[in-house]
A and B are shown apart, each in its own frame.
Chain A
Amino acid sequence: MSGGVDSAVAAARAAEAGHEVTGIHLALSRNPKSYRTGARGCCTIEDSNDARRAADVIGIPFYVWDMSDRFHEDVVEDFMSEYASGRTPNPCLRCNEKIKFAAVLERALALGFDAVATGHYARLVTGDDGVVQMHRAVDHGKDQSYVLGVLTQEQLAHSLFPLGDSPKSAIRLEAEARGLSVAQKPDSHDICFISDGDTGGWLREKLGSGAGDVVDHESGEVLGQHEGSFGFTIGQRKGLRIGRPTADGQPRYVLDIEPVSGTVTVGPRAALTVDRIEGIRPRWCGTPPERLEGSVQLRAHGDEHRAVVTVDGDAVSVELLDAAQGIAPGQAAVIYDGSRVVGSCTISAARRTAGEA
């Protein structure tokens, strides 16, 4: 229970469904701030108190579990080292994979609990074969199956997502009706461990400036300097601060970031287009497919791209029928068959093949 409205209603629904529910708030920082500032709603003592008050109203026991060491090791350090290697990780996905549905679930199972219920928006359906399928939430705008796409069958078999069948607006109304004081609490977004929301600044502080050249993708000409590559993401257009316009007057976009040298490569929008993705470290919700005509999602709340996915052991190849733009290594590709999540992989390379000779 983060202290937000979603996990509060999820706990209330699970309790009402007849489960013996215990509320757990995860302490993810050794030195939590007293009060919440901005939109990051899970890491302060105030948030912990909100979760405790929700548990009181629901009528369930409540405890704080200290997961700060595991969180730092598996999520925060992973986030830094991925960035340092020039990749763009999703820490929420890593937290689900390593903390909520791993460290927390393992401890819960050992203590005699049967499952972890969360306020994520996704649906679980148990098929005739006993396999638990994960599907997109009814509310596509809130759907979080992307950040859950790393969960294996064993993890899914011990998970409950009580909110998957409801739109967010209904959850807020339900929270109000249940007397939960967090009913109107703003949604959290951004990265919870970066308290001011300035990811670039946070990375500069942790990893050093990473200053370097801004170069043109075709000519290799140095167009300018920047003060830190961590402020950039692939596909970014604004904030490049290049004095000279392109010959054809078209805007430039970040195409590539080379973390060791700090070189940021820029070029036209067309050069961002990608129709082929290679993936590593696949995680499958059930039996891995060999070849699948389905779709992939490449970032949280991103578009769905029709795709043909082929799997060879730990190597995943994705042919995008709907091209994507600005795809960075390190992002997760989550593979869907209709609304069902098949699995996921970490993008190792992305390129353009169409139009090549």
Chain B
Amino acid sequence: MTDPTRPAVYLDHAASTPMYDEAVAAITRQLTQVGNASSLHAPGRAARRTVEESRETIARALGARPGEVVFTSGGTESDNLALKGLFWSRRDADPRRVRILSSAVEHHAVLDALHWLADHEGAELELLPVDRLGRLDVDALRDSLARDPGSVALVSVMWANNEVGTLQPVADVVAAAHAHDVPVHTDAVQAVGQVPVDFASSGVDALTLTAHKLGGPYGVGALVVRREVDVTPLLHGGGQERDVRSGTIDVPAIAGFAAAVEVAVGRQAEHALAVSALRDDLVAAVQAQVPDAVLNGDPVDRLPGNAHLTFPGCEGDSLLMLLDARGIACSTGSACSAGVPQPSHVLLAMGCGEEQARSSLRFSLGHTSTGADVEALRAAIAPVVERARAAGVVSGLGASKKIAG
């Protein structure tokens, strides 16, 4: 049996990618230092200096000002802070502003926060449609804004989709929303380090990123938010982060986060070139072995490391298990708490049937991926699909009942 902690072939970088050496070194340096970054003495000032240098590093890499970077515990907290914080402050300023416009393919950290606002805070949620490639229908957004612009609290559209990899037309979204002075949030968790992301030139008002998707540690991320935008806090306490986010500052994690951002953004162009070439090889290799495998998402405007494929007649979780047994780690979409596979809301929103939605796998490549990974998948995929197809038929896809009679 392969060592489960070191899969031979790791093709799930979109879930979490290995830490860069630079990030490990930065964290390790800080782990033995004492000093609360809010303390006034020398050790406290030293910790604060590390935090502020990290903030400057991240701001520089993302085209933001240091004061715009608010550290959080990660993507989910940043999304919740942006959505709830913007909704509350915008509604407080004008009680008519209760509409939230977003897309049907957002991550659950966005969707579930929005549903909570709808269920508990009277928000009126409009999840706008996407096309067959998973790309937002910007005309639908424009129509929705124009219908009654004064009632819109905010717009939130992800930078890149975590499942199928499609890049969203963020510039068009910003232009449409800003025409009515409506602020825009974007979840850029999958995008930073993969495609060029520049906060200032993008025009967005708030942007979510997280460290562990770009070679940093778990449990730390940031909401980059323009200084003139009011955000009502979620966590109350010491007000450590611009009075928007309280909680003792995690200095080692932030140091590692900044080191990772610096490396990932610094190498983004060459990384994207190398990884997308590898990804194209992977898709070609799989389709050579399984000719009816279908690539989902936008074939051109997509994340460089993302290959999302449908294998007709197979259940995704059968494929995942069989590949896992051969030391190949991939994903059926976004993980869920009970481990019960639900058909992907992203694929359903793209117009796929439930069967196709359950028959899909995401392979995502990253900075440690090599041609050997692609070769291992090429060698494994045909027999795995054949087996999963046989099992797919008995367990409901095309349901036949052999033994039960």
Chain A contact residues, CB within 8 Å of chain B: 22, 25, 27, 30, 32, 45, 48, 52, 61, 63-66, 68-70, 74, 97-98, 101-103, 105-107, 110-112, 152, 154-155
A70-B396 in contact (CB<8A): yes
Please indicate the chain A residues that have their CB under 8 angstroms from the CB of B338 in the complex. 27, 32, 45, 48, 64
Q: Does B322 contact A (CB under 8 A)?
A: yes
Question: Apart from A22-B321, A61-B4, A106-B404, what are 6 other A-B pairs with CB-CB below 8 Å?
Answer: A65-B317, A98-B404, A102-B401, A103-B394, A107-B394, A111-B387
A107-B395 in contact (CB<8A): yes
Partner of A63, one of B321, B394, B401: B321
Q: Does B325 contact A (CB under 8 A)?
A: yes
- Scan residues 364-405 of chain B and give those whose CB is less than 8 A from a CB of chain A: 387-388, 390-391, 393-396, 401-404
B138 to chain A, nearest CB (A): 35
Cβ contacts B290-330/A at 8 Å (1 or 0 each): 00000000000000000000000000011001101100000
Partner of B390, one of A22, A64, A110: A110
Whole-angstrom distance between the alpha carbons of A101 and B403 in the complex? Answer: 8
A110-B391 in contact (CB<8A): yes
Question: A98-B404, A102-B403 known; A63 and B317 CB under 8 Å?
Answer: yes
Question: A102-B403, A106-B403 known; A45 and B337 CB under 8 Å?
Answer: yes
B261 to chain A, nearest CB (A): 34
Query: Which residue of chain A is the closest to B393 with respect to CB atoms?
Result: A110
B337-A154 in contact (CB<8A): no
Q: Does B31 contact A (CB under 8 A)?
A: no
Q: How many A-B residue pairs have CB under 8 A?
A: 75
Query: Which residue of chain A is the closest to B340 with respect to CB atoms?
Result: A27
A63-B404 in contact (CB<8A): no
Please indicate the chain B residues that have their CB under 8 angstroms from the CB of A154 in the complex. 403
Please indicate the chain B residues that have their CB under 8 angstroms from the CB of A48 in the complex. 338-339
Q: Does B341 contact A (CB under 8 A)?
A: yes
A111-B337 in contact (CB<8A): no
The 8 closest A-B pairs by CB, nearest first: A110-B391, A102-B404, A64-B339, A110-B390, A106-B394, A107-B395, A27-B340, A111-B391
Please indicate the chain A residues that have their CB under 8 angstroms from the CB of B393 in the complex. 110
A-B contact pairs, 13 of them (CB 8 A): A25-B339, A64-B338, A74-B404, A97-B404, A103-B394, A106-B394, A106-B401, A107-B318, A107-B391, A110-B395, A111-B390, A111-B391, A154-B403
Whole-angstrom distance between the alpha carbons of A70 and B338 in the complex? Answer: 18
Question: A111-B388, A112-B387 known; A106 and B337 CB under 8 Å?
Answer: no
Please indicate the chain B residues that have their CB under 8 angstroms from the CB of A101 in the complex. 403
Please indicate the chain A residues that have their CB under 8 angstroms from the CB of B388 in the complex. 111
Whole-angstrom distance between the alpha carbons of A150 and B254 in the complex? Answer: 60
